[in-house]
Structures are given as C-alpha cells and as structure tokens.
C-alpha cells in the first residue's frame, strides 16, 4: 500500500532563478525502509521537510494515502508523518516534560504519556532510569538526539523521516538506535521510514532501498 507520494515537487531558491528541489518524485509504501545519501547541501533535508509539510513547495504535490493534504488536516498529518531534525530543539525543563509535551496538543488529546514505555526505550539506548529527571539544558548533543527520537517513536507515526538521527552519537549508541528503530518498524508492517545518513556502512544496515540526492534531484 502506498502511504506517501511526492509528485514532481519543486522549490525555488530565494533568488527565484535556481531550484533547491527540482522535479522530485518518490513513493513510500507501507513497510518501506529507505535510506537516502548524498552530499551536504544536496536537498535531503529540504525533501524531508517538504514531505512533512514543514516547508512550502512551488510546484507538484504531496499525497498521503492517495489524497492531497488539505490545510485543515495538516496537524493530524504531522502527527502521522513525523520529521526528526538532526539537531532537535528542546525547550522544556526536563527530559520527562519534553516527552510529555506532545500529549498536550489537541491532536493527541485521546492519548496519554506511557512513562514505562519511555523508560524502556531510553534504557535500550543505555540511559539510566533517572535520565527522565535530567535537565534539558544539561543534555549533550547526543542526548538531545536520543530524547527527540524517543519522543517521536512513542507517538507511533505511520511514516518516520529521520535526518541523520545518530550524527552526534558514539558507535554503540548509534547501533542501539538502529536496532530500536528496526524493532519499532517490525512491530507494525504498515509503518515506513526514510533515514538520511552520510555513513555508507550504516546505510547498508538500516535501509532496504537506497536513494541518492544531488543538487536537488534524485539520482538514478
């Protein structure tokens, strides 16, 4: 089943002359594990943000379950198609408050924070139980990535868009993240992901389908 499609999408450079995204088409089916590589500045982040409806596009269309995304359903859409920036911004006081925050949003009003599940995810990444009490201001770059990833996974989106989610992590923790994301996908065959990585070895581990972006275009 096709979950998410980008059809000939494009985005102009602010100067109006060049394209940051140039006629990009991609389909994400249920069960997809897509890894995307390419040089810095090639458009990988811009594509993920366009798919997550976080940035505007100047041409083409994004479809979810075969339908265009109307303005009034964007909050629901963003709860089901989650983009995770490699340098997530956390402004809450503690890790637990950061993990609880999404449940205060209207779109998640029917759900509640599962503290035990959050702890299990954190422990699987080598954190202690008291990590939930840690001050966000004291977190390292890697710990911020861990917190942001757990915050996304606990919401069980249908499509997860990961922008170098292990860039700030050491080898063992990065491997634990790979295992955790793989296990999360295994739980439900209707889930899918795109994982951006500059590490070719990692790309071979996490992806079943490989794509590459250069100069705003998908390369064949």
Query: What digits encode the pLDDT tens for the residues 169-180?
Result: 999 999 999 999
Tell me, what's the pLDDT at 220?
64
Q: Is 189 exposed, middle or buried (0-12, 13-18, 19+ CB in 10 A)?
A: exposed
DSSP state of 55: S
Percentage of residues in the chain with pLDDT exceeding 70?
100
Give residues with Cβ within 8 angstroms of 133, minimum separation 6: 94, 95, 96
Spatial distance between the Cα atoms of 14 and 182, rounded to a whole number of angstroms: 38
- Identify the pLDDT of residue 25: 97
> What local confidence, expressed as pLDDT, does residue 76 receive?
95
| Residue 197 belongs to domain with CATH number | 3.40.50.300
DSSP 135: B
3-class SS of residue 41: coil
Segments of the chain scoring below 50 in pLDDT: none
Total count of domains within the chain: 1
For residue 159, give the 3-state DSSP assignment: strand
210-220: b or e for each residue (b if 16 or more CB lie within 10 Å)? ebbbeebbbee
Structural domain span for residue 55: 2-219
Cα separation, 159 vs 193, in Å, equals: 5
């Amino acid at each position: 089943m096709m979950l998410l499609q980008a059809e000939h999408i494009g985005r102009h450079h602010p100067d109006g002359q060049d394209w940051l995204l140039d006629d990009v088409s991609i389909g994400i089916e249920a069960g997809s594990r897509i890894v995307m590589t390419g040089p810095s500045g090639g458009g990988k982040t811009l594509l993920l943000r366009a798919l997550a409806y976080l940035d505007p596009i100047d041409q083409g269309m994004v479809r979810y379950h075969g339908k265009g995304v109307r303005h009034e359903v964007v909050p629901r859409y963003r709860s089901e198609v989650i983009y995770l920036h490699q340098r997530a911004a956390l402004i809450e006081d503690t890790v637990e408050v950061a993990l609880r925050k999404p449940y205060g949003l209207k779109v998640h009003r029917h759900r509640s924070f599962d503290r035990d599940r959050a702890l299990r995810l954190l422990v699987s990444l080598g954190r202690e139980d008291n990590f939930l009490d840690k001050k966000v201001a004291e977190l390292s770059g890697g710990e911020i990535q861990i917190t942001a990833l757990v915050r996304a996974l606990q919401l069980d989106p249908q499509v997860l868009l990961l922008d170098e989610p292990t860039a700030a992590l050491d080898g063992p923790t990065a491997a634990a993240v790979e295992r955790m994301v793989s296990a999360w996908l295994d739980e439900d065959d209707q889930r899918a992901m795109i994982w951006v990585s500059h590490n070719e070895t990692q790309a071979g581990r996490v992806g079943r389908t490989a794509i590459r972006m250069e100069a705003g275009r998908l390369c064949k």
